[in-house]
């Protein structure tokens, strides 16, 4: 019997607010973080709007010297992780007061791209001034695993440490891996999540030229997931972090428990480098595996935080996949895309959306899909259009699907107060 895994802390750096509570309040009220790009002049780029982080302050968590040696994505990660640790009532591995031993505290923190801003800056130096002007910190600032590495150093986390780079599924894979490591007894607590900061000239041009981004210049109209007008996703940035902890450890130190992670599912499309297969066959298999892993039936799920990018194929095929898995119950589900408010945070999306699922469970409230104006007859589920909804959420699913065909689904449940420390002995309502 595997050990039970609960969420005891959360942190968020997003286009709609920093801190998980400001993030939750924003998406609950349907507030968009999409604006015209301000960090640079998008010029002739077909995509000119994005979800930039505008309220970021690293000073309470990082010194000036540390910030100078971190790409923006690592700074976002470090701050979100620090918020989550503080929220969980933890300071560092082996710090006493019931904290996990350093060797039992791990990190699973992802990025789909890594230090793109650093890459562009240092390439410009190389081309304009020569190789001697390239920073000696270029490589450790750029590589994608440095968010995980710096977080481990900050919090004396000497247990398992990893960085998944499965594109837009990356941070969901990190949460799922952290869950499994704790459930299998390889760690007692994990700092899990992801970070991304690719609102840069090169990245925006690259995504735009592959026709993945919306070309609308109206930030009040897009992204519009599941809407007939959808023409691409809107780039976002930021970080989400969750503290996952073995139930017995959390109870022993009197931690606040937000929710329980009860299952995860994985699959690969093996179809195309960017497009999902017609019908969403790979996504459907990941959702089915997540339900099996959680010992839940389709009817037990109340809410799905959809991948919902606002691209023509993703939204259609995700809808078809949900109908294939849930049958008639698909029409009773609340399905929403919080990317309609944050934009697509790529490798950080899954972690931020898992936090949205926790909020939905805790608050019995489902955030909306905003900018929904013209229904698509082929996307005919309940997408919680434009206004959030008060409803009971016992079990929620978070979907993440990445370029390359990587699929990951996570199932979260309300913790019912049962203190049995083996999965299958209690768990969230409906968890068998």
pLDDT by residue (tens digit) across 328-363? 999 999 999 999 999 999 999 999 999 999 999 999
Q: List residues with catalytic annotation.
A: 168, 307, 344
Number of neighbours of residue 432 by Cβ within 10 angstroms: 11
Residue 419 lies in a domain: no
Report the mean per-residue pLDDT for the chain: 96
Residues 212 and 271 occupy one common structural domain: no
Give the rounded percent of residues in the chain with a pLDDT score beyond 90: 94
Residue 309 lies in a domain: yes
**348 and 408 co-located in one domain:** yes
Q: Is residue 429 part of a domain?
A: no
Query: Do residue 140 and residue 27 come from a single domain?
Result: yes
Question: Would the pLDDT of 377 be above 70?
Answer: yes
H or E stretch covering 149: helix 146-154
At residue 428, the pLDDT reads 45
Residues 51, 192 within the same domain:
yes
CB 279 within 8 A of CB 317: yes
* Residue 394 · residue 333 · CB < 8 Å: no
With beta carbons less than 8 A apart as the criterion, state whether 381 and 303 touch: no
User: How high is the pLDDT of residue 51?
Assistant: 98
CA gap 201, 148 in Å, rounded: 26
Assess whether 342 and 222 both reside in one domain. Answer: no
If asked whether residues 81 and 204 sit together in one domain, one would say: yes
Domain match, 99 and 140 both: yes
User: Which pLDDT does position 424 carry in this prediction?
Assistant: 55
Task: Identify the DSSP state of 24.
Answer: H
Q: Are residues 218 and 362 in the same domain?
A: no
Residues whose CB falls within 8 Å of the CB of residue 27, separated by 6 or more in sequence, listed in order: 16, 338, 341, 342, 356, 359, 367, 388
pLDDT at 67 over 70: yes
Give the position of tokens 């930039």.
52
Q: What is the pLDDT of residue 1?
A: 78
pLDDT higher than threshold 60 for residue 197: yes
Instruction: Compute φ and ψ for 246, nearest 5 degrees.
Output: -65, 135
Does some domain include residue 285? yes
**CATH number where 288 lies:** 3.40.47.10
Within 8 A by CB and 6+ apart from 96, the residues are none
Q: Which residues have C-beta within 8 Å of that of residue 313, sequence separation ≥ 6? A: 275, 276
Please check whether residues 143 and 244 belong to one and the same domain: yes
Q: How many domains does the chain have?
A: 2
Q: Cα–Cα distance between 231 and 306 in angstroms, integer? A: 17
- Supply the range of the domain harboring residue 268: 263-413
Q: How far apart are CA 104 and CA 94, in angstroms?
A: 9
Please check the confidence at residue 423 and state whether its pLDDT lies above 80. no
Pair 89, 225 in one domain: yes
């Amino acid at each position: 019997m595997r050990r039970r895994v609960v969420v005891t802390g959360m942190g968020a750096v997003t286009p709609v607010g920093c801190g998980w509570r400001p993030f939750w309040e924003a998406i609950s009220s349907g507030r968009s973080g999409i604006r015209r790009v301000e960090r640079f002049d998008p010029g002739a780029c077909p995509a000119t709007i994005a979800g930039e982080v505008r309220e970021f302050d690293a000073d309470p968590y990082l010194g000036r010297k540390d910030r100078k040696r971190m790409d923006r994505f690592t700074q976002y990660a470090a701050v979100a992780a620090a918020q989550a640790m503080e929220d969980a009532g933890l300071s560092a591995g082996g710090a006493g007061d019931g904290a996990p031993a350093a060797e039992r505290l791990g990190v699973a923190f992802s990025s789909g791209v890594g230090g793109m801003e650093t890459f562009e800056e240092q390439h410009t130096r190389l081309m304009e001034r020569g190789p001697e002007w390239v920073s000696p910190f270029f490589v450790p600032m750029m590589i994608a695993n440095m968010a995980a590495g710096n977080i481990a150093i900050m919090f004396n986390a000497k247990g398992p440490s990893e960085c998944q780079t499965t594109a837009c599924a990356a941070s969901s894979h990190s949460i799922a891996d952290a869950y499994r490591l704790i459930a299998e007894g390889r760690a007692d607590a994990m700092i899990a999540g992801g970070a991304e900061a690719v609102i840069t000239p090169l990245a925006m041009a690259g995504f735009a030229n592959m026709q993945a981004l919306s070309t609308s210049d109206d930030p009040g109209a897009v992204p519009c997931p599941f809407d007939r007008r959808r023409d691409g996703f809107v780039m976002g940035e930021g970080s989400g972090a969750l503290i996952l902890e073995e139930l017995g450890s959390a109870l022993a130190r009197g931690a606040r428990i937000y929710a329980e992670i009860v299952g995860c599912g994985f699959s690969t499309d093996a179809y195309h480098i960017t497009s999902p297969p017609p019908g969403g066959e790979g996504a459907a298999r990941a959702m089915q595996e997540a339900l099996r892993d959680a010992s839940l039936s389709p009817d037990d799920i109340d809410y799905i935080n959809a991948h919902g990018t606002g691209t023509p194929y993703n939204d259609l095929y995700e809808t078809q996949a949900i109908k294939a898995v849930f049958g008639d119950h698909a029409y009773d589900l609340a399905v929403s895309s919080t990317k309609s408010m944050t934009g697509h945070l790529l490798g950080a999306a899954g972690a931020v959306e898992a936090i949205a699922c926790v909020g939905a469970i805790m608050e019995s409230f489902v955030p909306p899909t905003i900018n929904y104006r013209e229904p698509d007859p082929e996307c005919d589920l309940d997408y919680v259009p434009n206004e959030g909804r008060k409803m009971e959420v016992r079990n929620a699913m978070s979907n993440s699907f990445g370029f390359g065909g990587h699929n990951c689904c996570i199932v979260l449940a309300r913790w019912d107060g049962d203190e049995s420390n083996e999965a299958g002995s209690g768990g969230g309502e409906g968890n068998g």
